[in-house]
Every structure is written in structure tokens, then in C-alpha cells.
Structure 1
Amino acid sequence: MTRHDEAEAVRPLTLAWVRRHLNADERIAETEVLHGGITAEMRRLTIAARDGSTRDLVLRTFVDVEHAEDWLNREADALTLLTGTGVPAPALVAVDPAAAHCEYPSLLMTHLTGRPVLDDEGLATRVPVLARQLVAIHAVRPAQRPPEYVTLTTADTVVTPKGADAAAWAAAIDVIRQPAPRYEGRFLHRDFHPGNVLFDVLPPRPAGARIMGVVDWAATSWGPADLDVAHCSTNLALLHGPAWGLRFPEAYEEAGGVLAAAANERLYWRVRDGLACSEEVQQVVQSWRQAGRTDLTMRTVEERLDAYVTALMDAVG
């Protein structure tokens, strides 16, 4: 077996578990490693039936990851909840959150067509589409709320990029020293950004972009809509430039979304997410480069993060 084959192979216990959730006349015909994720191993499994038909499933595995059981329970609950809501999410096939059957905590779900689009071309068309999708997610009203949102970044853990505007970053850090504003709770994806959105984009017609699916529901939470909007804004700022991070909240409101009424409350959530990204720039850059954005170096992304945080602080005078 080659090293490439070993990377794609499903571990023995997990393989047996997957097979138990297939139809009697089905087998796993092919596996493919999916790149772009940060915390989980992702594999596409091509399932073949005796009559020659095929379908694809996705196997998500957390290897030695803290909180894996909680994340997979959240994802399983979210996928079940979203069935029939109109939000294009995978369907849950099976989940083993505590690794009772698999080598590591795992989840099996249907495969959605489409792909993440991280290129600059066509972005002006995609941003309003992203905003409308996020408004639809926030409109979901679960009978049982997911856990309250968590933010781990503190004023002491922020990593100020080398050469950053020291005054702007100091002011931003002071913002998150304050208590979180009161908010009206919403159903949050909590990791909504272009890398977790699958587009069906025909190259000759980028204006016809439409979303085929939203993936990675492991951090589903209950909290302020501003937090999801802020997270997508930060990612857009780093992928495409600070102006796009500033543009996304406007697109969200144009799509019918409601954000905090007070400017200082909006600032709090946007700054908090921007500063949180400072702690994981290296992981983010590696993920994007694997997905094809080889132009995004650590330095480029750090400079964009600095420019974005500085723009947020400049906006409040």
C-alpha cells in the first residue's frame, strides 16, 4: 500500500462501523481525502450498489481533539434539526461521538455537491448570496436551543501582529475587556465563512452563483447574530481585503438581517472576532493555501488583519 493509499484508507473499526450503516447490497468503492479543514479529518466515500448506481457520503473524524464528543453531538443535533428547513445542510447518517465503535469520534453524513469558492473573482456577486444564507440560518427556531456561544479569546491572549498599529490594537483590546453587550439570541452556525459554504458556480456565469450547501455545524450555538456576521466579516477581510469585511454587515442587513442597534455593541462583536483570529492565523493560512489560495502568505494575512482591526477602530473615531 502506498503512502497516498494509507492516507485515504479508513481505519478498520471505523470501516466496519460505516459498513453497518450501508444498505445490504452496497460497498465502499472508493475513498478520497478532502482538504481544507482545520480540526477534523474529512473523507469522501463513494458507495456502490449491486445495480451499478453510486452515491457519496462524507466521513468526519476527530483525531485526538479535545471536545470532539461535544462537537459531534452538536453537529448531529444541527443536521437533524435542519432537515426540512430549507437550509442546505448534509443529512445525518450516523454518529459515534464517544468513539464507542470507531477508533476516534466520527460522524457519517451525506455528501453535497458544490465547492467552496475562495477566489476574488465574482466576490461582489457571492457576498449578497452569503448574507442571504446567513439570514436564513438565523431564522431557524429550534425547539431546543443549542448550547450558549463561547468565546475563548481574552485581552491577555490576543497576538498582535508584527508591525501592527499598536494604538489601534491597544484600543481594540480595551473593547473586549468590557462585558459582552446584551443581545437577542439566535440560532448560530458559529463558523460561517466562505470555506464552509459550497457554491455551484459555472465559470462562464459567475453572476449565477448559488449555494448548494453549508457544512461544518460542530460549533452550532445560541447567541447574537452579530457574532456570526462578525466571523464571516473577518474571514472575508483576510481572504479578499478589509473592505469586504466592512461590507458584509451591510449586505446582511440588506438581506433582512437584524444586528445590534448601538454602534458600540456592533463594534464589540466585530472586534472580538477579529482579535480571536489573531491567535490562529497560521492554521487559517495553511487551510486556505491547501484549498488553492497559495498567494496568501502569513505576512499577507497578518497585514490584512491589522488593516481590518485598524479600520474598525478608525470608524469609531
Structure 2
Amino acid sequence: MTNHDEAAAVRPLTLAWVNRHLEAGERVVRTEALHGGITAEMRRLTIGTRDGDTRDLVLRTFVDPFSVEHAEDWLTREAGALTLLTDTGVPAPGLVAADPTAAHCEYPSLLMTHLAGRTVLDDEGVETRVPLLARQLVAIHALRPAVRPRRYVARTTADTVVTPSGADAVAWAGAIEVIREPAPPCAGRFLHRDFQPGNVLFDVAPPSPAAARITGVVDWAQTSWGPADLDVAHCSTNLALLHGPAWGLRFAAAYEEAGGVLAATADERRYWRVRSGLVFSEEVRLVAQPWREAGRTELTTRVVEERLDAYVTALMDAPA
């Protein structure tokens, strides 16, 4: 076996576990670290087959203490989601094996099929990709599993929000008061819970970004049951920080144009969008770093904070 780089090396116990889940006569011939993830190590494993061909798998491993603490829940949910998504038309990886408690591997791990395509985070072509993202999210929310995933968990509180330096103090104070209120009643939907450009794979044929199509949706570890607005708001905030606040403000309309149904009133819709924006206040550095590693070097922590401030302020200025 050869490594594409040192970081790609698979730990011995994990490699033995992977080998037990390969077909007879197959072996791992190459490994490559995949970059851009926040919570897990990701590796592409090239598998040599008996007939001399190759196929690819992806190994997801949680190694940092916080992720290891939550890995049993996250990987169990992801394994369940990938099983559920088989033959649904939603382009998700296929489950090969999962070891959520590290009973066999050095760290909690999940092995899945590899999907074609790549993440696209550039500003060029965003006007084409946003409607595709919206249609894909509508399709996810249309799923009706026989067994629902666990109820969503709110990711911030009014007392943990971190107001960016130089932000509009009045707007942020108002936003914090918005999320002090109880969550609006809502109809439950099957949620990805981290649906955003970094978890969607595209086939973009150069030199025409207008010909883009979605080839996969990955990272199902946060699958939940809750309001469609949560997923829409989360993707909206990501778009606002990646491409500018205007794109975050447009995504909800694109979702509704694609047939999605959001909360009934403007106040209810604003609640979820504001809550999502404030979640990001606590993790701006964590979010911005993989974007820079993916080539968006201009997205410094300060730039992302400024975009977040502009987006939250725009949400609070919008008519209720």
C-alpha cells in the first residue's frame, strides 16, 4: 500500500478492520487524505480488485476528544441515515461498515462508498448552484422514514452568543432577544442538519459553471427531525459567509420556488434564520479555516465576522 501523503496513513487496527469489509481478493493499494472537514479525518482509500481494476471508498474517523465523546451518537445516526437513503434518489454514499464505539479501530470510524464530484466554494457560478442546492434540500425534506431520527438540538443560547468586534450592537442585541423566545411550533421534517456547500458534491464541466449538477450529499452525522427552516437557515448562513449576505437572504426564496414549505409567518421564519446566524458567532474561526484551506484565502476570520454582522443586521432590518 502506498500513501499519497503522510497524513493519509491508516492506523493499523483500522486498516485491519477495513480489510475485513473488503471483497475476497481485494486490498487497499493507496490512501489519500481529504481536506475541508471540521470534525473528522477523511481519507479516500483506493481498493485493488481481483480483476485488476480499482474502486474507491471513504474512511471517516473521529479523533479529537470532543468528537470522540459524541462519536457513538453521530456515527450511529450517519450509518442509519445512509441505510435509509439507499434507493431514495438522494445521492448519498452507501454504507460499508461502522465502528461507532471504536470496538475494532483505534478511533470511532465509518467506511462508505466514494461519490464522484467535488465541493465548489467559488463565487463564480453561485447563481447556478443556489437553485440546485434548494431543489436538493426540498428532496431531502420530502423523505418520510419509518423510524424518525432524534429531535433536533438547538446549538446556541442567548447567553453564549459572541458578538463580533465592531458589530451593530443594536441589531445583535435585538437578535439575541429573538432567540430568548420559545421556538415557534413547527411541522417536523427529515433534516440533514448540516446542509451547506461544503457538504454537497458537484460535477462542474469546465469552462461552463452553468452546467453544474449535484452528484452527492455527504456528512449525515447530524441527521435530525425538526422544522425545514432549520436546514434552510443553516445553508443560508453558510451562503452569506461564503458569497456575501445577499446570497444568504436569497436562499429561502429559492427553496420555496423549488416547492419547499417554510414557517407560516415572517416572525417565525426570522426566528430560525437569526438563531442559525447566532450559532456561527461562536465558531467563526472554525468555519473559516477549512474554506481558506480549500482556496478561499480571502475569507479571513475578520472578513467572515464582518459578513456575519452584515447578515444578522439585514435579518433584523427586514420587515416582520
Do both proteins adopt the same fold according to a TM-score greater than 0.5, normalized to the shorter chain? yes
Give the C-alpha shift of residue 287 in structure 1: 1.0
- Aligned-partner residue type, residue 184 of structure 1: A
Q: Which amino acid aligns with 1:174?
A: E
Q: CA deviation at 1:152?
A: 2.6
Matched, 1:74 2:77: yes
Give the match's secondary structure for 1:60.
strand
Q: Which amino acid is the alignment partner of residue 76 of structure 2?
A: N
Structure 2 Cα separation of the partners of residues 3 and 164 of structure 1: 46
Tell me if structure 1 keeps the 8 A contact 2:3–2:32: no
1:228 aligned to which of 212, 228, 231 = 231
Q: Does 1:17 align with 2:20?
A: no
CA distance in 2 between counterparts of 1:103 and 1:316 reads 53
- Matches of 1:304 and 1:67, distance apart in 2: 30
* CA distance in structure 2 between the aligned counterparts of 1:152 and 1:187, rounded to whole angstroms: 18
> Which deviates more from structure 2 when the two are superposed, residues 140-149 or residues 199-208?
199-208
- Superposition pairs of residues 232-247 of structure 1, within 5 angstroms: 232-247=235-250
Partner of 1:297: 300
Name the CA distance, whole Å, in 2 between partners of 1:219 and 1:60: 14
TM-score by length of 2: 0.97
- Please give the secondary structure, in 1, of the residue aligned with 2:132: helix
1:144 aligns with 2:185: no
Normalised by the length of structure 1, the TM-score is 0.98
- Write the deviation string for residues 42-94 of structure 1: whole angstroms up to 9, x where unpaired: 00000011321000000000013221110000000000000000000000000
Bigger Cα displacement from structure 2, 299-308 vs 204-213: 204-213
Deviation, structure 1 residue 316: 3.0
The corresponding residue for 2:291 is 288
Paired letter, 1:31: T
For the Cα contact (< 8 Å) 2:4–2:31, is it kept in 1?
no
1:127 aligned onto 2:130: yes
Aligned to 1:192: 195
1:3 shift after superposition: 11
| 1:7 is aligned to 2:10 | no
| Number of aligned residue pairs | 316
Q: Which amino acid aligns with 1:142?
A: P
1:35 aligned partner:
35
Aligned partners of 1:308 and 1:3: how far apart in 2? 42
Cα deviations across residues 110-143 of structure 1 (Å, max 9, x unaligned)?
Answer: 0000001000001101100000000000000000
1:67 aligned counterpart, secondary structure: helix
CA-CA distance at 1:4 after TM superposition: 7.6
CA distance in 2, matches of 1:175, 1:67: 29
**Residue deviations 1:169-190 (CA, integer Å, cap 9, x gap):** 0000000000000000000000
Find the residue that maps to 1:45 and give its secondary structure: strand
d(CA) in 1 for partners of 2:313, 2:232: 18
Structure 2 contact 5–32 (Cα < 8 Å) conserved: no
Q: 1:181 aligns with which of 175, 179, 184?
A: 184
1:226-268 CA distance string (max 9 Å, x none): 0000000000000000000000000000000000011100000
Distance 1:91 1:4, change over 3 A: closer
Which of the numbers 83, 101, 120 marks the counterpart of 2:104? 101
Take 1:258 and 1:5, find their aligned partners in 2: how far apart are those partners?
46
* 2:212 corresponds to 1:205: no
SS of 1:28's partner is strand
Give % identity: 80
RMSD: 1.2
Unaligned runs of 5+ in 2: none
User: How far is 1:40 from its partner?
Assistant: 0.3
Q: Which residue of 1 aligns with 2:171?
A: 168
Alpha-carbon distance between aligned partners in 2 of 1:164 and 1:124, rounded to the nearest angstrom: 28
Give the aligned partner of residue 45 of structure 1.
Answer: 45
Residue 203 (structure 1) shift:
1.7
Deviation of 1:7 (Å): 1.4
Paired amino acid for 1:217:
W
Partner amino acid for 2:7?
A
What amino acid is the match of 1:80?
A: T
1:46 partner letter = T
Which residue identity is paired with 1:283?
L
**Structure 1 stretches of 4+ moved >3 Å:** 2-6
Q: 2:216 is paired with a residue of what secondary structure?
A: strand
Deviation track 1:201-242 (CA, whole Å, cap 9, x = no partner) reads 012221111000000000000000000000000000000000
